[in-house]
A = this chain, B = another copy of it.
Amino acid sequence: MEYVLGIDGGGTSCRAALATADGAVIGRAKSGAANIRTDLTGARTNIVDAARLAFIDAGRDPDLVPQAGAVLGLAGANVGTYRQQLEAILPFAGSRVETDAEIALEGAVGSGDGAMAILGTGTAYMARHNGKARPIGGWGFQVGDQGSGARVGRDLLEQTLLAHDGIRPASPLTDEMMAVFRNNPEAVVEFTTNAKPGDFGGFAPKVFEHAAKGDIVAAWIVDKAVSDVEAALNVLDLREGDPLCLLGGLAPLYAPLLSARYSALLKPPKDDALGGAVSMAARYFGSKGNG
């Protein structure tokens, strides 16, 4: 095929990159949400729109869309039969639907062995050995996402209330938090009643910052979070020389705190998730292929 497409679709937007058969990007575009779990046909519409706009951005005829091969990375593609349902209604000459994690891993470490840890409001991991990718975590902050911004922030509020009751030690950070909530524990509770993961996660950078200054409560929370992240890394079975990429907003905060075993493996990501989708598309449908 002369053209290949990489698509990175999520709950707020859908990005597309058009490339020549060797994976050289010549056009980019963005459209609306592509949530295949909640709106399959709406997702298809936005995916096709983004693809057509990428052709236009490259100065090419958008009616060539049905001649391109596409790799799509979409959240929720690993659940139920959404992947098969979408593949059946896509207009491309060839399509492969992958999870958002798979294109992110390809972008970060390329097509060989390696692993990534997404450390943001949530946490999730993926490792690839001999072409086989294994996902870990990503189960949401309520009963998962250990070490995530949401969990670190929630831990801080919990420790703040325990300090208020005299059950656990107070610290400059818990005092600061009580002041944020006008020294009213009921205000903390009211905040948590409707707080979304990102609301809890908003407090996470402050926890890392105070931990670095020796705040005992912050240090306890961060130590636990680092140990939770390393417990997840332990099951990825990384070998010497495997690249390990940290992605997500907390990546720069975790990088200096990892033990020598993992800090020795850290590499900056080669490309982003959309770049990963493009290079998979070039491999499957273009001139880079062996597939």
Number of interface residues of A (CB under 8 A): 29
Q: How far is the CA of A235 from the CA of B165 in the complex (A)?
A: 8
Q: Does any Cβ of B come within 8 Å of A161's Cβ?
A: yes
With contact pairs A139-B161, A167-B136 given, residues A144 and B232 touching in the complex (Cβ less than 8 Å): no
Query: Does A79 make an interface contact (CB < 8 A)?
Result: yes
Residue among A79, A154, A195 having the largest count of chain B Cβ atoms under 10 Å: A79
A193 part of interface (Cβ distance < 8 Å): yes
Q: Mark A119-162, 1 if CB is under 8 A from B, else 0.
A: 00000000000000000110110111010000000100110011
Distance of A235 Cα from B154 Cα, bound (Å): 23
Chain A stretch 175-198: residues in CB contact (< 8 A) with chain B: 185-186, 188-189, 192-193, 195
Binding site for B on A (CB under 8 A): 79, 136-137, 139-140, 142-144, 146, 154, 157-158, 161-162, 165-168, 185-186, 188-189, 192-193, 195, 231-232, 234-235
CB contacts (< 8 Å) of A140 on chain B: these are: 189, 192-193
- Do the beta carbons of A232 and B143 come within 8 Å of each other? no
Name the distance in Å between A118's Cβ and chain B's nearest Cβ: 15
Q: Are A188 and B139 in contact (CB under 8 A)?
A: yes
Cβ-defined contact, B186 with A79, below 8 A = yes
